[in-house]
Structure 1
Amino acid sequence: MDPESIFYAIFTFMWLVYLWEGYMSSRQRALYRTVVKLPEKLEGVMDQETYDKARLYNLDKSNFGFWVGLWGEIEHSLILIYGGIPYIWRISGNVIEKYGYDSSYEITQSVVFLVFAMTFSTITSMPFSVYSTFVIEQKHGFNKQSPGFFVKDQIKKFFVTMAIAIPITALLIYIIQIGGDYFFIYVWAFLLVVSLLMITIYADYIAPLFDKFTPLPEGELRTRIEELAKSIDFPLTKLYVVEGSKRSSHSNAYFYGFFKNKRIVLFDTLLEDYSPLNDDKDKPDSEATEESVPAEKKEEVNEDKPKEHKKQGCNNEEILAVLSHELGHWKLGHIIKNLVISQVNSFLCFAAFAFLIDQQVLYSAFGFNTRPTLIGLIIIFQYVFSPYNEVLSFCVTMLSRMFEFQADNFAKKLKFTTALKSALIKLNKDNLGFPVNDWLYSTWHFSHPPLLERLKALEKSE
């Protein structure tokens, strides 16, 4: 194929994927609009008031997602049509020339390109992030961030991402350049080490830059979690609570670590009876307790304050049920299976990349007369592999759904059936999950089975 045909084939597929995704989203959005009354099958699971809140929240998110997706696709198309990628590459070359470097310093030019590209992406996406946080999440009572906290968080996130991405990208290009015919083996091994290292250090060194982690206090919950871990030979070493309530009232729990060094992290928003981690003396004046507000001002304050979505959290038995599900992923080998699948895919993709990296026609299709390594990575992995990536994504989603059912069944065998059902209903309510789903949208997008499917599976006899 000639360069022009390759470009238009990739461009056409990109829009076909967008239209397919848009069609599925429109089917789900139609349910948000039309299924106004609580379906009979949900009686006893959710009340009409919560159902209405969930429907409106998800409708707002879906409508916003439509405009974000449309803008993103148009922006992406304009970048490709008007040569935005080669333009940024040329600008990067001009910048390094001012400091005495030329095009032979490809790694230096690639780093500058990466900085420009990430800065552009951050700036163009920021208005949508602000709207999502301070309009949609705020409107439905989830946002806990002040504008100042949000700005500091975004700046911190940008520089932390840069600090990680720049050295990894530079080393990756260097390995490709010196690796010879079998560089893809060395690249695969390098990225495997990097991914394992990131998993190891993320929660201990990176996540604390954004959120406060505190050991779970001694008490019944901690004792029972430790007993649960011991009963299934889970090598628990640390148990944390993360101050998720500082940015959002959404709840979560996870574990991390390798071999005999596992940690469990609970969001404070998950715990029913957990007190805020910050003392009143640490709160700004705007967050003073109600008692500190004069009586004559209380009504005025309450009128101005956005309506907050009230969460209920989980009791100890329900938290143990949620953790038994999460630990089921470990006990059933889902973590290792996902890692193996990911690494096999990575190896095969880099082997294919090694075959395509010297095909000048691919670079010419995107406006390049040379073959910069970083540009080759972008073109091949983001565009040439896009049909394969779509198929792989769907297969991974299906596998993940199967793993979720298996983890639920693991919790069931540990006698947490009733508590897990209760926890799933509470978490769905706390996070305003909408329980009515279009089958096509759900099949394509949901890596976790919908609430009713999980409850039905838990009700089946063992």
Structure 2
Amino acid sequence: MLFESVLGFSWVVYLWESYLSKRQHSIYVNVQSVPKELTSVIDQSTFDKSRRYALDKSTYGFWNGLYSQIESTAILWLGGLPFLWAASGVVLGKLGYTSEHEILHSLVFTLLGSVFGLVTELPWSLYFTFVVEERHGFNKMTLGFFLKDLVKKTLVSQAISLPLTALIIYVVKVGGDYFFVYAWLLVLCISMVLLHIYPEFIAPLFDKYSPLPDGELKTKINELAQSLDFPLQKLYVVEGSKRSAHSNAYMYGFHKNKRIVLFDTLLEDYTPVGRTDQTNSDSTEVPESDREETNSGKGEDVNKKDKDCETKKIGCNTEEVVAVLGHELGHWKFSHMLKNIVIMQGSILFSFFVFGQLMNNTQIFAAFGFMDQQPILIRLYIVFSFIFSPINEIESFLMHILSRRFEFQADEFAVNLGKREKLKSALLKLFKDNLAFPVADWMYSARHYSHPPLLERLRAMDLYKPKQE
């Protein structure tokens, strides 16, 4: 009965998500004119492009979601988990070990599962990148770059997840009655370490980070940081344009060691191929990106530069970038990241505690086909992925509500800095560059959007009464 309940709940969630997606898809189909609030800033051509992009992503999401649901159902129904555990035991035996080596067995199981997921997801990733994103001008990757990137991501993720998996299994086995506290402390420590080392050592493996050159933009960012006592240590530009035309900006670091990262696609007149003939004071020079060598030599390089310039998005000017960073500094001022970390760690501690109450209930794991062997990793996977699924759905919904509140607070903070109009114009430019659709179904938005829709943010900003402007 437990197995059927878990499977039934997964289909209830899928059907609910499909209903929400259908509501949003109907918005894309039926809303064919620019909302009246945006007619003065968004032309019909841009709106039509964003609508087509949204429709393509929605259609892709439907088929990908259907496939994923059928695949996960088939895995559970046909005993895929016990089969994979047995297969990993066979591999372990060929390596000269027995099933008594539970941690090694679990790592082989994890590797095989990752390979299976990688293979089944690869066609979908290729289609989305080279058909959907390519069709709308966002993909900048070649197939070789994509595959090299995929290999690097896989190796890095396994280098992190496998040792963590082994350590958690070990802690559960030897931790006694209070193992859940030790397991949580382990996850907490590793999370804090990763928050520090990821942007410093891991992210540069995938993208090129360069210091923001001296100029008006850097001066104004430093002035803003100093006015708010923000301990800014370094300013970087990340060369995201070699993989995508989407824009972003973020900050990271602890206590007195904060860094800000700007995507090159965010900056107006920013040329990602390292041209030196820039005259705009807001522009910054990006070191030449790593490019795959071709047989056509320098001639193709020049053509690529011209093509990049032709497809360059609008980007934001100096004042608009500063306004966007005013929003990001609002997150810092209100300790949003710290609050998210506290909530996340509280959830993890609670989950480990509940797992401790369930881990010795053999009937739970027998329902999933593990009659004789019930290894720690399998118990963790079943409880966290399936038994907790109703809790996970509620938690996800509540976190989206909280995230949207944080975004409104950060917008209001930027307005209080006198950045209302510049932030609005920046959001509109980012909307155009990213072809984001400005209209959202309220139910779909409440469930899926961690950021409020564009129109909601613009309307809210008009209602804020700034302290200074």
- After TM superposition, the score normalised by the length of structure 2 is 0.92
Q: 1:397·1:446 contact (CA, 8 Å) conserved in 2? A: yes
Structure 1 segment 120-131 matched on structure 2, within 5 A: 120-131=116-127
Distance 1:461 1:171 in 2: 49
Q: In the alignment, is the contact (CA less than 8 A) between 1:271 and 1:319 conserved in 2?
A: yes
User: Cα 1:49–1:79, aligned 2, differ >3 Å: closer, same or farther?
Assistant: same
**Corresponding position of 1:176:** 172
Contact 1:140 1:309 survives alignment (8 Å): no
Per-residue deviation at 1:63? Answer: 0.2
Distance 2:430 2:122 in 1: 29
* Aligned: 1:82 with 2:78: yes
Deviation string 1:59-115 (CA, Å, 9 cap, x unpaired) is 000001100000000010100000101101011111212233222210000000000
- 1:256-335, aligned counterparts within 5 Å? 256-276=252-272, 277-279=286-288, 284=293, 310-335=312-337
Q: Secondary structure at the match of 1:255?
A: strand
The yes-or-no answer on 1:405 pairing with 2:408 is yes
The 5-angstrom pairing of residues 34-113 of structure 1 reads: 34-113=30-109
Tell me, yes or no, if structure 1 residue 430 matches structure 2 residue 433: yes
Q: Deviations over 1:144-199 (max 9, x none)?
A: 00111111111111111111111111111011111001100000000000111111
The answer on 1:392 being equivalent to 2:395 is yes
d(CA) in 2 for partners of 1:257 and 1:407?
18
Structure 2: distance between partners of 1:458 and 1:283: 45
Q: Partner of 2:197 in structure 1?
A: 201
Q: What corresponds to 1:218 in structure 2?
A: 214
Q: Tell me the secondary structure at the aligned position of residue 381 of structure 1.
A: helix
Percent identity for Structure 1 against Structure 2: 54
Equivalenced residues, count: 449
Is the Cα contact below 8 Å between 1:435 and 1:450 reproduced in 2?
yes
Partner of 2:457: 454
Q: Give, in angstroms, the shift of residue 424 of structure 1.
A: 0.6
Q: Is the 8 A contact 1:141 1:307 kept in 2?
A: no
CA displacement at 1:230 relative to structure 2: 1.3
Contact 1:139 1:306 in 2 (8 A): no
Partners of 2:442 and 2:127 lie apart in 1 by: 29
In structure 2, C-alpha distance between the alignment counterparts of 1:307 and 1:338, rounded to whole Å? 39
Q: Give how far 1:307 is off.
A: 13
CA distance in 2, matches of 1:239, 1:402: 27
User: What SS is found at the alignment partner of 1:422?
Assistant: helix
Distance 1:44 1:287, change over 3 A: farther
**Secondary structure of the residue that 2:370 maps to in structure 1?**
coil
Distance 1:41 1:227, change over 3 A: closer
Matched, 1:132 2:135: no
In the alignment, the residues of structure 1 paired with residue 302 and residue 81 of structure 2 have an alpha-carbon distance, to the nearest angstrom, of 56
Residue number in structure 2 paired with 1:381:
384
Map of 1:420 onto structure 2: 423
Q: 1-side partners of 2:270 and 2:448: how far apart?
A: 33
Residue 63 and residue 188 in structure 1: after superposition, are their counterparts in 2 closer, same or farther (change >3 A)? same
Q: 2: distance between equivalents of 1:455 and 1:306?
A: 31
Q: What is the CA-CA distance between 1:33 and the residue it aligns to?
A: 1.4
- Measure the CA separation in 1 of the matches of 2:459 and 2:21: 25
Summarize deviations over 1:337-377 as a string: whole Å, max 9, x none. 11111111111111001101111011101100222111011
| Secondary structure of the corresponding residue to residue 96 of structure 1 | helix
Rounded to whole Å, the distance in 2 between the matches of 1:434 and 1:449 is 12
Structure 1: segments with no counterpart, 5+ residues? none
Aligned 8 A contact 1:111 1:169 in 2: yes
How far apart are 1:231 and its partner, in Å?
1.1
Q: Secondary structure at the match of 2:214?
A: coil
Distance 1:281 1:84 in 2: 41
**SS at 1:368 equivalent:** coil
Distance 1:283 1:372 in 2: 45
1:15 to 11, 18, 25: 11
Q: Per the alignment, in what secondary structure is the counterpart of residue 320 of structure 1?
A: helix
Describe the shift of the 1:45–1:177 C-alpha distance in structure 2 as closer, same or farther (beyond 3 A).
same
2:345 aligned partner, one-letter code: Q
- In the alignment, structure 1 residue 351 sits paired with structure 2 residue 347: no
What is the distance in 2 between the residues matched to 1:336 and 1:13? 33
Distance 2:118 2:419 in 1: 44
Q: 2:184 aligns with which of 188, 194, 203?
A: 188
Retained in 2: the 8 A contact 1:141–1:306? no
Question: Within 1, Cα distance between the matches of 2:82 and 2:439?
Answer: 45
Q: Contact 1:139–1:307 at 8 Å: present in 2 too? A: no
Distance 1:442 1:280, change over 3 A: closer
RMSD: 2.0
Structure 2 gaps, min length 5? 273-285
CA shift, 1:37, in A, is: 2.2
Provide the rounded CA distance (Å) in 1 between the counterparts of 2:170 and 2:227. Answer: 47
TM-score by length of 1: 0.94
SS at match of 2:188: helix
